Amino acid sequence: MMRTLRYCILIFIALELLTRLTRISDFPLYEANNKIGYIPQTNQNGKFMWTHDWKFNEYHMGAGTFIPSNAEDILLIGDSIVLGGNPLSESERLGPSLQKKINVAVWPISAGSWGMRNELIYLNSNPDVVKSIDTFIFVWNSGDFGQASSWSCEITHPTHTPISSFSYVFQKYIYSFEKCTGDIKPEFLVPNGDWHDELKTFINSAGMRNKKVIAFLYPNINEEMDARLMKSILDIHINEIHQAGVSNVISIGHDSRWGIKYYRDGIHPSGQGNEVLADIISKAMTQ
């Protein structure tokens, strides 16, 4: 019995060391509260599995230090479509891909599973950022038109470095002992609101005078494969967005350059997909 226990301990230690050495648990950390739900912590960087680098600056952006340029500055706002995640290195993500296309400073702000209301809360909480930006580019999918996302558990959005890297990776990819879909604690629950009213208030605010705003509607793979589904679930929001004050709304699924081969799963674009998205966005900006 004692020998079996020793073997188990040795195996666990070996797996723990392997997990740490491979940096497979090198994920960004998050702040969590009941104002914005959650957001990547400031001033952090890493390299998932030693190959896929990531970083966040002092304004939670997936970029270097926020130093507005003397030319145009673009804020790219979204959820995991913009974030990219660990399957992609920083250069393969949408923000850097767009910046290479247009040769203008692009500042991405995003978090996985954010909704439009999370994004607007960020913008309203960071007037210095809004003041420094010339063009706002929103990327929304059909799941973003509801209530703000609230923080639920450490597995999806860790707020601290796990004590055991192996245990964290096991729960993230194999089996989680922590429920991530249960009741949200009051200290993390973002109050309900109306995205349409909040978007209209933001667009019409004094700080947004003479600013350019473009909204891109991004389909998941099912919507991309079924035009009727895309129209009834995603494009149905176009008029509402117009009414909120955003005149330039583009539905990516109707662009002939986009297609199902550019998805890496049911919704997220591949690195090549981000190149195509960046091309679609850059062309729209010049028209």
* pLDDT per residue as tens digits for the range 241-250: 999 999 999 9
Is 86 a residue whose pLDDT tops 90?
Answer: no
Domain positions in the chain:
34-150+190-286
Span 34-150+190-286: which CATH code? Answer: 3.40.50.1110
**Mean pLDDT to the nearest integer, 206-221:** 95
Could you tell me the pTM of the whole model?
Answer: 0.94
Contacts of residue 22, defined as CB under 8 A and 6 or more positions apart, other chains included, come to: 49, 50
DSSP state of 183: P
* CA atoms of 133 and 77, how far apart (whole Å): 12
Q: How many CB atoms lie within 10 A of CB 91?
A: 13
Q: Which residues pair with 78 in a beta bridge?
A: 110
Most distant CA atoms of the chain, gap in Å: 74
Is 5 a residue whose pLDDT tops 80?
Answer: no
Closest CA to 136 of 206, 84, 43, 210: 210
Q: What is the pLDDT of residues 149-182, one digit of tens each?
A: 999 999 889 999 988 888 888 888 888 777 777 6
